[in-house]
């Protein structure tokens, strides 16, 4: 009896699965709050040099430039009293000697009362530390993917998920009380690690406990939870202008998620692969009781246990490593193609989503717009995922995203609305790509290396998110070069996605051998 048949035997998509999916989905509402948090906690306010003088128009004593606007990073060495006289014609200001802001800065606190920028003066010569902080967080997600991906295949999905909830709660709370920028970066790195573990293990548990026919709907539901989380983030950031309080508010709920997660059942699929078929039967019987199929659960007799033991023996191996992701031809092709897809999706997504202040509109409004576009994008993607296929959806979403980004190269800078529309459309396509690739990856890899594969692809995604802000710096040399790179990457990976096997209505594979033989059989049928 296959696992798909066993799940149907104990209730299919019954009460247990519904409760399980909901409990796994609730924390996803807060995931966007951590991932996109620095759009608000690291927002750069208007600023100028601080000047110690008791005159009402003191900002005008540290001006450079002909427009008489406060200069952000320099001030005059000597007081220029003539600037205070509105009747005096100002000429040759550039010839006056200036110096860096030796006495600190004055910040506009009308929108944010405090951010990490204003608290630790991450402006002017230190402005790149803002991007470094986000890259460090993304590096934490990368390391978390490597570490927790392998550990969950070895020690189970449930135990690692419980640990990651606790780590997210503790390190997120510690971030809110960071005494220095260095401590802030360390705690954000650890928070990123926990984020990665929660995503991977949450997706795997939901996929491995739900029937084949409902996996696309469940995956899309998680995507919508993340989308709603972007609205929640915008609302909380508007209501809580202090970065420390905002950081604390988005972290404390994970203590509750940690407590609730002890109810979770370990994946029966993983228990069999790990050589614990008796525990797998107990979990299936528990599911049957909750689904009001107690009698069906009790029928999981010795014959079923023997069948599960045979599956264990068939997949018996001391351990699986990342080498197994490239050891055989089909799995190797899957791994290479998925690496391209994950890297480019994350690379282009964060190139757009973490640069909201450059759109020149209200930052809270643009966050809402960027979140709102996910609703139609993910709705359309779930339809194509469910009725046309995963491969088509993945390829189309990436190619359209790349084309919309490249189109902005030819739009003049003063047409801000059109540029914003193209960027929002591209972000929606990338959201659809993310919605598909999480499900697609979990279906392509067999149970024995599913989390290891998720760890590898998660690593590539984080490399993309770390690289994105670095590419943005190239616009100082060639203004349109970042857009070319952001647009070309999704198009190339969209082409690569066409080389992946289709998984629509296909049961989850358990072993590497099963993945290899399926492709051969599908080619034979064609």
Does residue 431 form part of some domain?
yes
Identify the domain boundary among 264, 294, 316: 316
Identify the domain boundary among 316, 351, 369: 316
Q: How far is CA 153 from CA 205, 456, 476, in A?
A: 12, 13, 44
- 305 and 179 part of one domain: yes
- How many other C-beta atoms lie within 10 A of the C-beta of residue 334? 24
Does residue 119 form part of some domain?
no
- Contact present, 395 and 498 (Cβ < 8 Å): yes
Determine if the pTM surpasses 0.75: no
- Angle 34-36-42 (CA atoms, 0-180°, nearest 5)? 100
Query: How do strand 98-100 and strand 74-76 relate by DSSP bridges?
Result: antiparallel
Residue 142: name the closest of 222, 200, 223 by CA: 200
Helices (H), 210-362: 215-239, 243-251, 253-260, 268-273, 277-290, 294-298, 302-314, 329-353
Task: Show contacts of 64-73: CB within 8 Å, 24+ apart.
Answer: 64/93, 64/94, 64/96, 64/98, 65/93, 65/94, 66/90, 66/93, 70/46, 71/98, 72/47, 72/48, 72/123, 72/124, 73/49, 73/100, 73/101, 73/123, 73/124, 73/125
* Residue 124 region by backbone torsions, left for phi larger than 0, else alpha for psi between -120 and 50, else beta: left
- 521 and 389 part of one domain: yes
Q: Give the chain's count of helices (H) and strands (E).
A: 23, 4
Please report the pLDDT score of residue 59 as a whole number: 43
Residue 440: name the closest of 135, 219, 131, 162 by CA: 219
CA 294 to chain centre: 39
Residue 210: name the closest of 296, 278, 268 by CA: 268
Does residue 112 form part of some domain?
no
In the numeric block, the tokens 């928070």 are attached to 191
Distance CA 149, CA 452 (A): 5
- 30 and 61 part of one domain: no
Does residue 117 form part of some domain?
no
pLDDT tens digit sequence for 40-68:
887 776 766 766 654 433 444 444 444 45
Does residue 330 form part of some domain?
yes
Structure tokens at 497: 């996605």
- 296 and 257 part of one domain: yes
Q: Is 434 exposed, middle or buried (CB count within 10 Å of its CB: 0-12, 13-18, 19+)?
A: buried
Residue 96: name the closest of 46, 48, 143, 61 by CA: 61
Residue 282: name the closest of 303, 307, 300, 263 by CA: 300
- 204 and 304 part of one domain: yes
- Contact present, 208 and 24 (Cβ < 8 Å): no
- 386 and 274 part of one domain: no
Distance CA 253, CA 248 (A): 9
- 441 and 381 part of one domain: yes
Structure tokens at 156: 């189970």
Q: How far is CA 402 from CA 338, 366, 422, 463, in A?
A: 17, 21, 11, 18
- 291 and 161 part of one domain: yes
In the numeric block, the tokens 């943005």 are attached to 472
Distance CA 9, CA 1 (A): 10
Structure tokens at 211: 């029937």
Query: How do strand 105-107 and strand 47-49 relate by DSSP bridges?
Result: antiparallel
- 8 and 51 part of one domain: no
Residues of the chain with pLDDT below 50 are 54-67, 312, 318, 523-526
Does residue 324 form part of some domain?
yes
- Contact present, 72 and 100 (Cβ < 8 Å): no
- 36 and 71 part of one domain: no
Q: What is the CATH number of the domain that holds 497?
A: 1.20.1250.20
Count how many domains the chain has. Answer: 3
- 460 and 391 part of one domain: yes
Does residue 251 form part of some domain?
yes
Identify the domain boundary among 259, 288, 316: 316
Does residue 279 form part of some domain?
yes
Task: Show contacts of 278-283: CB within 8 Å, 24+ apart.
Answer: 278/305, 280/308, 281/305, 281/308
CA 469 to chain centre: 15
Which structural domain, as residue segments, surrounds residue 201?
1-42+126-316
Residue 509: name the closest of 353, 330, 309, 307 by CA: 330
- 275 and 381 part of one domain: no
Residue 110: name the closest of 39, 46, 42, 37 by CA: 46
Distance CA 502, CA 497 (A): 10
């Amino acid at each position: 009896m296959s696992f798909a048949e066993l799940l149907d035997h104990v209730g299919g998509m019954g009460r247990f699965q519904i409760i399980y999916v909901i409990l796994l989905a609730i924390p996803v509402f807060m995931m966007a709050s951590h991932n996109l948090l620095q759009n608000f906690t690291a927002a750069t306010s208007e600023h100028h040099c601080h000047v110690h003088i008791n005159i009402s128009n003191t900002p005008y004593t540290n001006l450079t430039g002909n427009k008489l606007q406060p200069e952000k990073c320099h001030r005059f060495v000597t007081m220029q009293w003539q600037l205070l006289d509105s009747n005096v014609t100002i000429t040759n200001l550039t010839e006056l000697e200036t110096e860096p802001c030796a006495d600190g800065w004055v910040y506009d606190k009308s929108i944010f009362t405090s951010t990490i920028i204003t608290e630790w003066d991450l402006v002017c010569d230190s402005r790149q530390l803002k991007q470094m902080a986000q890259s460090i967080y993304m590096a934490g997600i990368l390391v978390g993917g490597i570490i927790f991906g392998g550990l969950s295949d070895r020690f189970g999905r449930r135990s690692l998920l419980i640990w990651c909830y606790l780590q997210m709660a503790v390190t997120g709370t510690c971030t809110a009380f960071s005494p220095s920028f260095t401590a802030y970066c360390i705690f954000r790195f650890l928070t990123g690690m926990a984020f990665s573990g929660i995503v991977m293990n949450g997706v795997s548990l939901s996929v491995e406990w739900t029937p084949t026919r409902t996996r696309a709907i469940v995956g899309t539901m998680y995507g919508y939870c993340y989308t709603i989380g972007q609205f929640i983030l915008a609302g909380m950031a508007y209501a809580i202008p202090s970065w420390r309080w905002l950081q604390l508010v988005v972290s404390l709920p994970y203590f509750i998620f940690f407590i609730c997660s002890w109810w979770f059942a370990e994946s029966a699929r993983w228990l069999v692969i790990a050589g614990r078929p008796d525990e797998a039967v107990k979990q299936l019987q528990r599911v049957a009781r909750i689904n009001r199929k107690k009698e069906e659960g009790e029928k999981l007799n010795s014959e079923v246990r023997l069948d599960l033991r045979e599956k264990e023996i068939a997949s018996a191996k001391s351990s699986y490593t990342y080498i197994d992701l490239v050891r055989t031809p089909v799995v190797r092709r899957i791994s290479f193609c998925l690496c391209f897809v994950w890297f480019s999706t994350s690379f282009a997504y964060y190139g757009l989503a973490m640069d909201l202040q450059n759109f020149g509109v209200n930052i809270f409004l643009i966050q809402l717009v960027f979140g709102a576009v996910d609703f139609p994008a993910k709705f359309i993607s779930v339809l194509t995922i469910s009725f046309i296929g995963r491969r088509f959806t993945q390829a189309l979403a990436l190619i359209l995203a790349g084309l919309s980004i490249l189109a902005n190269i030819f739009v003049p800078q003063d047409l801000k609305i059109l540029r914003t529309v193209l960027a929002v459309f591209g972000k929606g396509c990338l959201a659809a790509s993310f919605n598909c690739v999480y499900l697609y990856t979990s279906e392509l890899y067999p149970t024995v290396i599913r989390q290891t594969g998720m760890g590898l692809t998660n690593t590539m995604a984080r490399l993309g998110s770390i690289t994105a802000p670095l590419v943005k710096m190239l616009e100082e040399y060639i203004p349109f070069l970042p857009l070319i790179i952001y647009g070309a990457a999704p198009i190339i990976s969209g082409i690569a996605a066409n080389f992946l096997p289709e998984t629509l209505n296909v049961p989850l594979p358990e072993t590497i051998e099963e993945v290899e033989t399926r492709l051969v059989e599908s080619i034979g049928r064609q």
